[in-house]
Amino acid sequence: MPLCIVTLAAGQGKRMNSSLPKVLQPIAQRPMLQHVLGTAKSLQPSKIVIVYGHGGTQVRAHVLDEDLIWAYQKEQKGTAHAVMQALDYLDPNERVLILYGDVPLLRAETLQRMVALPCSDLVLLTQRLSDPTGYGRILRNISGQVQGIREEKDASVQERNIQEINTGIMLVPANRLAGWLARIDCQNAQGEYYLTDLVQLAVADEVPISTVEPGEPWEALGVNDKSQLAQLEKIYQYHQAEALLKAGVTLMDPERVAVRGQVTCGRDVTLDVGVILEGQVTLGDNVSIGPYCVIRNAHVGQGSIIEAFCHIDGANLGGLAHVGPYARIRPGTVTAEGVHLGNFVEIKNSTIGVYSKANHLTYLGDSTVGERVNVGAGTITCNYDGANKHRTVIGDDVFIGSDTQLIAPVTIESGATIGAGSTIVRRAPAGELTLSRSEQVTKKGWKRPRKGKTE
Ligand code: UD1
Ligand code: CA
């Protein structure tokens, strides 16, 4: 039977103390709502409806997906009221799964176990907690059948001792939802329309109620404040690190590596302490990443060594690269095999040929660098004239002396040598030495000025 999913995301999240709506607060740099939608989509539902309210414009602007249906809840009058806002978009012949934008770590496997139960059942995701404080409690009769859910604020002292809690996630049989919602009132301690009241209506209508427990104890954890957000981030990162270890990656400290995207690693990759991987990252066989590096949307070719404190963003590094320490490789950088980029080197939007080196204090921007080029310390491509960017082209086997400025657009032809300290404004011909440097002079008998003597 087809399935539709309703995700509740209208709450304000006051306790976050943030101007960012709660469901946009990130886990691994991705809004919690996106995590939930990712899991929702993996169940291949016929539609996903998001009930939104607080920070509505911001939420919609962040989640650009044409397949989603947005239902606005003007006032937050309770979870049943929230689901009511989605009713117009639902098909009465489809089961409805209720998820929450602030419960981001729920696994698809667990939801699949709920979906596998008979279509005529009301299925609840419940959990036994040693400290059930704050949650709705599951009421069962002596034969163990679910009779209802009691919100903590409405519960008696005895009921509060019940350890089985309502995670809020439920799967409602087709045909039933609209009728049940119409029968829910707000005669309770909070004056809200409780979705949990569906349970007693199911009992009254003799609809079977079944329960499923999450496979992992952290799956149904919700986020109300920054402390819980940090806790879930830690759980999420723990599992990212476990997955890397399982795939054969060596982590110097699994608790001090962060994955904020999709990472693919070859064999025998090593990540030192403090490595942060963001976006789409692929690391080839035998790649070693030193301490405190950020690698974002990048490929690092096999056998490469990235030394400590490098920032690599939007780059494609060929095999056997040696980068850093303290290098910054920016978007649009493509290097061939065996390229060395040393300390305090910045590269942007440039291609670099095999075995070329820039080992110290260099900026190469908008450049095409050939093979076996040696770029001396302190070389700068002056690619920006204040209005436009220009390219620098450096041929194969060029040697550029230290402290050189290459004023783009400019071409250094193959085999050329540039003398140290030059400012190059025109083409440097192939195979020749070009330099622009004022003559060295010595002033015989010159004396240094001394303090107190003004004449
Ligand atoms: C709810 C359940 C409780 C369960 C708990 C699990 C009800 C009545 N109670 O309680 O049994 O143990 O979740 O965390 O359902 N929301 C809206 N619009 C609203 C109200 C809520 O979108 O008008 C959204 C909130 O953004 C939140 C979720 O629904 O994501 C849960 O709402 P919340 O008010 O936190 O419910 P609880 O009181 O925690
Ligand atoms: Ca809650």
Is residue 224 lining ligand 1, measured as CB closer than 6 Å? no
The stretch 127-139 carries a mean pLDDT of 95
pLDDT at position 228:
96
Is residue 137 lining ligand 1, measured as CB closer than 6 Å? no
Query: With bands split at pLDDT 50, 70 and 90, how would you rate the model's confidence at 13?
Result: confident
Taking the CA of residue 80 as reference, the ligand 1 atom at the shortest distance is: 15
Distance 224 CA to ligand 2 centre (A): 7
What pLDDT digit, counting tens, does each position of 250-293 carry?
999 999 999 999 999 999 999 999 999 999 999 999 999 999 99
- Distance (Å, rounded) from C-alpha 223 to C-alpha 20? 14
CATH 3.90.550.10 domain span(s) along the chain? 3-212
The stretch 40-48 carries a mean pLDDT of 97
Q: Whose CA is nearest to atom 2 of ligand 1?
A: 168
Distance 94 CA to ligand 2 centre (A): 26
Query: With bands split at pLDDT 50, 70 and 90, how would you rate the model's confidence at 12?
Result: confident
- Distance (Å, rounded) from C-alpha 240 to C-alpha 262? 10
Amino acid, single-letter form, for residue 24? L
pLDDT at position 455:
60
Q: Could you tell which of 14, 24, 52, 79 is best to mutate to test the pocket of ligand 1, judged by most ligand atoms within 8 Å of the CB?
A: 79
pLDDT at position 90:
94
Is residue 222 lining ligand 1, measured as CB closer than 6 Å? yes
Mean pLDDT lowest among 63-67, 69-73, 262-266: 63-67
Residue 35 CB contacts under 8 Å (≥ 6 apart), including other chains: 27, 104, 105
Taking the CA of residue 165 as reference, the ligand 1 atom at the shortest distance is: 12
- Does residue 55 surpass a pLDDT of 90? no
Percentage of the residues of the chain whose pLDDT score is greater than 70: 99
- CATH 2.160.10.10 assigned to 226-434: yes
What pLDDT digit, counting tens, does each position of 390-442 carry?
999 999 999 999 999 999 999 999 999 999 999 999 999 999 999 999 899 99
pLDDT at position 53:
92
Ligand nearest to the CA of 224: 2
Is residue 126 lining ligand 1, measured as CB closer than 6 Å? no
- Distance (Å, rounded) from C-alpha 306 to C-alpha 391? 27
CATH code given to domain 3-212: 3.90.550.10
Q: Of the residues 239, 311, 360, 390, which is catalytic?
A: 360
Query: With bands split at pLDDT 50, 70 and 90, how would you rate the model's confidence at 321?
Result: very high
Is residue 81 lining ligand 1, measured as CB closer than 6 Å? yes
CATH 2.160.10.10 domain span(s) along the chain? 226-434
Query: With bands split at pLDDT 50, 70 and 90, how would you rate the model's confidence at 174?
Result: confident
Q: Residue 195's closest CA among 51, 81, 342?
A: 81
Distance 223 CA to ligand 2 centre (A): 8
pLDDT at position 261:
97
Is residue 165 lining ligand 1, measured as CB closer than 6 Å? yes
Distance 259 CA to ligand 1 centre (A): 30
Query: With bands split at pLDDT 50, 70 and 90, how would you rate the model's confidence at 377?
Result: very high
Is residue 76 lining ligand 1, measured as CB closer than 6 Å? yes
What pLDDT digit, counting tens, does each position of 187-238 carry?
999 999 999 999 999 999 999 999 999 999 999 999 999 999 999 999 999 9
What pLDDT digit, counting tens, does each position of 330-375 carry?
999 999 999 999 999 999 999 999 999 999 999 999 999 999 999 9
pLDDT at position 289:
98
Side-chain-facing half-sphere of 296: CA atoms under 13 Å = 12
Distance 9 CA to ligand 2 centre (A): 11
The stretch 72-83 carries a mean pLDDT of 95
Catalytic, 299? Answer no
Distance 241 CA to ligand 2 centre (A): 29
Distance 178 CA to ligand 2 centre (A): 23
On average, the pLDDT of the chain sits at 96
Query: With bands split at pLDDT 50, 70 and 90, how would you rate the model's confidence at 181?
Result: very high
pLDDT at position 188:
93
- Does residue 54 surpass a pLDDT of 90? no
Taking the CA of residue 75 as reference, the ligand 1 atom at the shortest distance is: 23
Is residue 73 lining ligand 1, measured as CB closer than 6 Å? yes
Query: With bands split at pLDDT 50, 70 and 90, how would you rate the model's confidence at 65?
Result: confident
